Chain A
Amino acid sequence: MDLGAGLDTASAGAPAYSTSETSGTSLDLGSSDPVTPPGGTSLSLDAPSGAVAPAASSSRHTLPAKHDLGLPTIHADERRLMTEHEPVVELTRMQSAAGALEARVAVANPSEVVLGTVFETADGRESLVLPGLAQQGPDPRSPIFRATSSGVAVNLRHIRGINRFLIFAVPTRPTKQMPGGTVAVTTYGRARLELPLVAGPSLGAQALLTAYVVEGRLVLRAEHDPYSGTLQQVTAAYGYRELSWRDPYTPLV
């Protein structure tokens, strides 16, 4: 189990431009002293869960480390509003591997906003998908992430090729005004997480959902970030610093 890549980069998750209000709201898996995010959820990777390997020690097979994350879970067909009070959901290994995780935006005028995803692959490379810029990544011939005008999708058949990702919204009007609405994130089993998209002025991009792969399970967190920024600022604030930029709104892809 290689938690290293995901954890180290995750520790950079506190937005650089943020005030103390927002620091610590990201999943800080790297800290040796796990933070307790709002809502009382706690990620402790120190102690293995009660599950002990069976006595069949003569087996040539071994189980990987398995830690009980103790986070809220969601079942098939369940619908959950991701509140500031309870912003985190842990998917099962099967939920983290079945079909696609899809994020779709529901607003009055869908042409006013698009969704994009910045991600880090298991081999430590960062890249980004955004409609009109790069529709598929990291390899367009075998994409894991796809972005269309209606939303983004993560092909979970390749969950093992992912360390982490961030789904963000970009308003399309020249005024950069963000429309109000909802972003719905659904699993293959139609579990549905709903995140508010808050209307108001923006600096160009708004972080919505962070995702980390922890021992084969996706841990999803609604960010409820009070700050927007340029796309470059937002991705950097969540620890994606390996991208190159044409301008603060446009990465080189």
Chain B
Amino acid sequence: MAVSLTKGGNISLEKAAPGMTNAVIGLGWDPRTTDGAPFDLDASVLLLGENGKVRQDQDFVFYNNLTGDNGSVQHQGDNRTGEGEGDDESINVSLTQVSPDVARIVVVASIDQADQRSQNFGQVADAYIRIYDADDPHNADKGVRFDLGEDASTETALIFGELYRHGTEWKFRAIGQGYAGGLASVITEFGLQVG
């Protein structure tokens, strides 16, 4: 049973996956069954320095920039429709390989062109984002999971949570903060310009 995260909750992954060194961020949803533009959800991460901002544009790892921080962060590729079983998009983070000047890794789920298409998470069936231990994939259910359609239903982007350094280890802090302005409204907070 996954630790289910409700809005604004703050749950540590530590209990579920102690001493995790490789994290998987998984995003899943069901393809649209009704007419109209497909639901195109995206998983992305932002690598932040001590000042809470990205060090450079490449620290934003998303569908157009699949590799970050010399390969310690690897996005497995864009899925435009939700077709397929299990996680439809995933991002692998080799925590031991992350550069020392990366203090936090913020995990974001968003809907592409949500505004133009009048979409929100609540319209998407079985949409979730989760994080679990890559070295224990059979227990992926033990990680932290956020049901996007339940607690971020009218939002179009969500800060799921952040990986942060704690001594020599990494921990995960769940945040669950929704945004109605899509991915752009999230990333500008972290020093990126949308253009």
So, do A and B actually touch in the complex, CB under 8 Å?
Answer: no
